[in-house]
Structure formats: C-alpha cells, structure tokens
Amino acid sequence: MRDYRSLRAANVLGTREVLRLAAAVRPKPVHHVSTLAVAPPLSLAPEVAEAFVPPHPGLRDGYQQSKWVAERLVQQAGERGLPVAVYRLGRVVGAPGAGLVNEQDLVFRLLRAGIPAGLLPDLDVREVWTPVDYVARAIVRLSLGDRPPLAVYNVAPAPEVRLTDLFDWARDYGYAVERCPVPAWRARLKDGADAADSATLAFFDVQPGAEGAAPFGLGRVRCDNVARGLAGSGIACPPTDRALLHGYLDRCVEQGLLPPPPDRAQPGPRAR
C-alpha cells in the first residue's frame, strides 16, 4: 500500500492546481471525481451521506488520506464561492460485455493470489460495483444538470454485492476454491507468494481487525442526490451478478491473468 507522501503530488497538489486554474480571472466550475474510500467505515458510521466528511480514524492508508485531503480542498474552494461538485465512486469495473479488469484492483488481486492456491479469504464485506460506462454517463448527466452549492454525489446506486458471493461465483465458474478466515488464508499463501501477492497480503497489515467483516466495509451508501439528478434519464446501474463476474473471468483467462479452471484448457462460452 502506498503512503500519503507518494500520492500527495498526484491527488493533493494536482487538485490544488486545478482549483487555482478554475479560480483565475473568471470562476469556472470544478467537477471533482473522488472515492467512497474517504468515508468512515461501518464501525464508525452507519451510513455514508452525500456530504463532506470530517477527519476520522478510518483514513488508514495513503490513498484514503490523499483523496480525503483533496476533497477538503474542494470543499474549502466551494465555501469561498467557487462552483464545485464532488462525485464519489465505489468499485469501478469494466463495461458489461467487454470483460475488462483492472489488474491493480483489490478484488482481482485477491482472486489472483487465491485461485492458484484454491483458497480465498472469508470477507463478509458488501460493496457496490459500478461499470465504467454507467459511471461516465451518470457523471456527464449530473454535471450538466441543476445542482446545489457544494454538491456531493455518491455514484453507487446499485444493489450491494457480498464478496463471499463473488468468491462462490468463482467456484461456480469451475475453480476449486474454498473460503477460510483471513489469518489462515494469509498464513497458507505467505510462503509461496510472489511480490504482487505479497503486496496483496500486506494490505491486511494496515487494516487491523480484517479477520471477517473487514474495516473497509461501509455502512449504507446514500445516493439521494444521484437519484434526483438522474431521474427520468434512463441511466441505471446494472446489478452485479454471476454472469457479470463470469464475463470478467473469461477475459482474465483469455489474457493469461488467471489460470483456466481445471475442467477446460481454454475459455469458451459458458452457461450463465
């Protein structure tokens, strides 16, 4: 996991320069893309409001910290009169049908580390997955519509999916995998882990208590502003289901990012 200093230039100083440019000569609107990772975890708050977040102890890693500071800069600029809007994203995934995956995504890295060993962590975490094409359409629509001052949008209106369900769908795909508690999973994978998998295992070093309901799980994500802004547009976020995950796994196998399931040597059409 990267620390704050390594991300400050991109996430904090970059945002500061955008705000300076927007404030120069004639104020110009700033549409800032942020992340739900700035929100406090469920252990600290029962829901994630569409509002700016005060500092909290759940900001543990450099990504969360730098994105929170960037949001605070945007908030301060808005309070001084600059028109601003913040769009917080959840887990952004490939467009349905395309099957593209982000190799640095934590869930992909958990699959990459666990599938060859036949073991995945038992993480009772709920997430919202938002395909990138939906995210793009939603942000464009929201940015062009009427909005209140200091608008914050949690662009994550789809039903949540449990990581345990995702891992079960990976088993349905043909992978011989079992789930076990995080400490046992880490212990069994540690000795044979390469550099990438070691970095994945190290994630849980900076997330203490991640033995079950991991601390990066959030409370209910409020999306009232998004619902109002998209009303009547026909823009809707598709649910995350078995077919969607299997499409991603097909592409991963085709590209050699994951091994094929034991029952087949090459990916092919699969009943959903």
Candidate from 2-6, 105-109, 213-217, 219-223 with smallest mean pLDDT: 213-217
Q: What is the mean pLDDT of the chain?
A: 91
Mean pLDDT of 249-261: 95
Q: How do residues 164-196 score in pLDDT, each as one tens digit?
A: 999 999 999 999 999 999 999 999 898 877 888
Name the 3-class secondary structure at 137.
helix
CA–CA dist 157, 128 (Å, integer): 8
pLDDT at 86 over 70: yes
| Higher per-residue pLDDT: 21 or 61 | 21
CA–CA dist 256, 254 (Å, integer): 6
State residue 126's pLDDT score.
Answer: 87
For the chain, how long is the longest CA-to-CA vector? 64
Number of Cβ atoms within 10 Å of the Cβ of 251: 17
Full DSSP string of 210-264: TTSS-TT---EE--HHHHHHHTTS---PPPP-HHHHHHHHHHHHHTTSSPPPTT-
Mean pLDDT of 206-225: 70
Distances in whole angstroms, Cα of residue 22 to Cα of each of 75, 77, 213, 254? 14, 10, 41, 44
Strand 126-127 versus strand 161-162 pairing type: antiparallel
Instruction: Name the pLDDT band for 214 (thresholds 50, 70, 90).
Output: very low
Instruction: Name the pLDDT band for 110 (thresholds 50, 70, 90).
Output: very high
pLDDT at 22 over 70: yes
User: Tokens standing for 137?
Assistant: 């359409």
Fold of 4-254: Rossmann fold (3.40.50)
CA–CA dist 108, 133 (Å, integer): 19
